[in-house]
Structure 1
Amino acid sequence: MFEKIWKIILDMVYPQNLNCIFCHMPISRSNRYSICKKCLEKIIFIHNSCECCGKPTINTSLELDRPIEACPYCQGKRFLFDRNISFIEYGDLSKLMIFKLKYSAKTYMAKIIGEIMADSLLESHQDLVARMDIITFVPLNKKRLETRGFNQAEKIGAYLADLIGLPMVSLVERVKNTDKLHGLSSQERRRMLKNSFKLKEEAKDLVYGKNILIVDDIFTTGATVDEISKVLRLAGAQELVSLTFLTGKYEKDIDK
Structure 2
Amino acid sequence: MLLTPRRSQCVICGREYHGTNVLNLCAACSSSIPWIREVKCPVCGRYEPCYDCDRRSDTFFVHNRSAVKYDPMMKELLASYKYRGNERLRPLMGAMLMHAYALHKSVAPHNDVIWAVTYVPLSETRLMERGFNQAQQMAEHLAECAKLPVFPLLRRARHTDKQSFKSRGDRLHDMRGAFIVEESTLQQLRELRKRGSVHLLIVDDVYTTGSTLNQCAEVICGAIDIPVYGICWSR
Task: Provide the TM-score with structure 2 as the length reference.
Answer: 0.85
Counterpart of 1:40 in structure 2 is 30
Counterpart of 1:155 in structure 2 is 137
Amino acid of the structure 1 residue aligned with 2:43: C
Counterpart of 1:91 in structure 2 is 71
Residues 120 and 138 of structure 1, relative CA distance in 2, 3 Å threshold:
closer
Deviations 1:89-127 (A, max 9, x none): 001112233212111222221211211222553477262
Unaligned runs of 5+ in 2: 1-6
Task: Verify the 8 A CA contact 1:132 1:213 in the aligned structure 2.
Answer: no
Counterpart of 1:80 in structure 2 is 60
Amino acid of the structure 1 residue aligned with 2:76: L
Task: Verify the 8 A CA contact 1:27 1:34 in the aligned structure 2.
Answer: no
Q: Distance in 2 between matches of 1:38 and 1:236?
A: 45
SS in 1 for 2:118: strand
Asked if 1:54 is matched to 2:45, the reply is yes
Which stretch shifts more, 83-92 or 98-107?
98-107
Aligned length, in residue pairs: 219
Unaligned runs of 5+ in 1: 1-16, 58-69, 248-256
Residues 31 and 189 of structure 1, relative CA distance in 2, 3 Å threshold:
same
What is the Cα deviation at residue 130 of structure 1? 6.2
Counterpart of 1:190 in structure 2 is 172
Q: How does 1:90-129 map to 2 (within 5 A)?
A: 90-119=70-99, 121-122=101-102, 125=105, 127=109
**2:212 counterpart (203, 224, 230):** 224
Task: Verify the 8 A CA contact 1:115 1:163 in the aligned structure 2.
Answer: yes
Aligned-pair RMSD on alpha carbons? 2.1
What is the Cα deviation at residue 180 of structure 1? 0.8
Identity of aligned residues (%): 26
Residues 165 and 31 of structure 1, relative CA distance in 2, 3 Å threshold:
closer
Task: Verify the 8 A CA contact 1:134 1:167 in the aligned structure 2.
Answer: yes
